[in-house]
Amino acid sequence: MNTGRPFWVTLLINCVIWVFVFFIPFLLMEPRGGISSYLLRIGVTAALTVIVYYLNYLFLIPKYLFTKKFLAYTLVILLTLVISCVIVDLYYYFVVSVVQNWHHRPVPIFSRGMWVPLFPLLTGIAIGISIRLAKEWAKNEKERRELEGEKLRSELAFLKSQINPHFLFNTLNNICSLARKKSDNTEPAIIKLSQIMRYMLTDSMQEKVGLEEEVEYLNNFIELQKIRIADKVDISFTIEDDNSFIQIEPLLLIPFVENAFKHGVSYNDKSRIAIALKTTKGELTFTVENSRPSTKDSMKLGEAGIGLKNVSRRLELLYPGRHQLEIRDTGSLYYIMLKIKG
């Protein structure tokens, strides 16, 4: 997690902490032989403790503990401890005992003194686990609060852009026109509008909804838009569903569709909007492609709905590492592709 602190500052703090930790025994016990003798005896143990700490903190915990591979983590830790203790034992036998001229050199490998480094090694591992779990909890808590705030802001912004007099008046005027003509489409249009309003005001308050509910909402939205633009635009919405039970955040797909209708419709040029949704083994692929009429060239992509930038931010928070968003603007064509992994 990026704390904003320069790397060299973090490294310096870590070095100071380790020096302080390993010099406490020297300051308290004042061993014979002075500091050189103390460093000779504690050198390898200290170095291995630091190595094992960072190996555990940076690699083992994320790879095994966070993925709930507890047995594999335990086995790797045990193997690391045994190897570390053997290294320390051999160091004492071949280096310390020779330099300090010990009269009785301990038997190397699996001697009683071999397990002396276990305490600092286990302490380093325990501290690493505690710190990493605490940081992970703090990170998740921060992201949860950020997600809740972002979701609320996104929903409010979406409601402001969608539930507004312009949208409602246009739809109601279209329905009123159908009623004057005594069209058979009047009642279906009213039902679609009521379903849209219910979904936006009630169903969208849920944390997740079934994909079929979002698709129904998109269908209703598209059908109401067709009443407004009549036959002036070639519109298609294709669905390929492998019956995967997929749940997504409500109102996640509509900004892309809204963007297409806002910037892809022209009453002078030939216009086209192609929307496609496909599910394969729990993965959702959603594409929206619309023409860019010349009269719309000056409009910016971010002007649509809550803005594609806002949608992109929602995706980062809701599906970190599990989504892919591709946006292409050729000047005459907008193409948006969203993939969400289950």
Confidence of residue 331 (pLDDT cuts 50, 70, 90): confident
CB atoms inside a 10 Å sphere around CB 122 = 14
pLDDT for the residue numbered 157: 59
Which two structure tokens, joined as six digits, stand for 66?
Answer: 């966070």
- What are the angstrom distances between the C-alpha of 147 and each of 138, 143, 153, 290? 14, 6, 10, 31
pLDDT for the residue numbered 33: 58
Domains and CATH numbers, the chain: 7-141 (no CATH), 163-340 (3.30.565.10)
- Pick the residue with more confidence: 146 or 338? 338
Over 70: is that where the pLDDT of 31 sits?
A: no
- What are the angstrom distances between the C-alpha of 98 and each of 27, 89, 92, 157? 26, 13, 8, 75
Over 70: is that where the pLDDT of 4 sits?
A: no
Note the pLDDT tens digit of each residue in 87-129: 888 887 777 777 777 766 666 666 666 777 888 889 888 988 9
Measured in whole angstroms, how far is the alpha carbon of residue 236 from the centre of its chain? Answer: 32
Q: Return mean pLDDT, the chain.
A: 79
Note the pLDDT tens digit of each residue in 243-285: 778 899 888 898 888 888 888 777 777 788 999 999 998 899 9
Note the pLDDT tens digit of each residue in 177-231: 888 888 888 888 899 888 888 887 787 778 788 999 999 999 998 888 887 776 7
pLDDT for the residue numbered 324: 94
Helix locations, the chain, DSSP H: 7-29, 34-55, 70-91, 97-99, 118-162, 165-180, 186-201, 211-229, 254-263, 308-318
pLDDT cut 70: percent of the chain above it? 78
Confidence of residue 64 (pLDDT cuts 50, 70, 90): very high
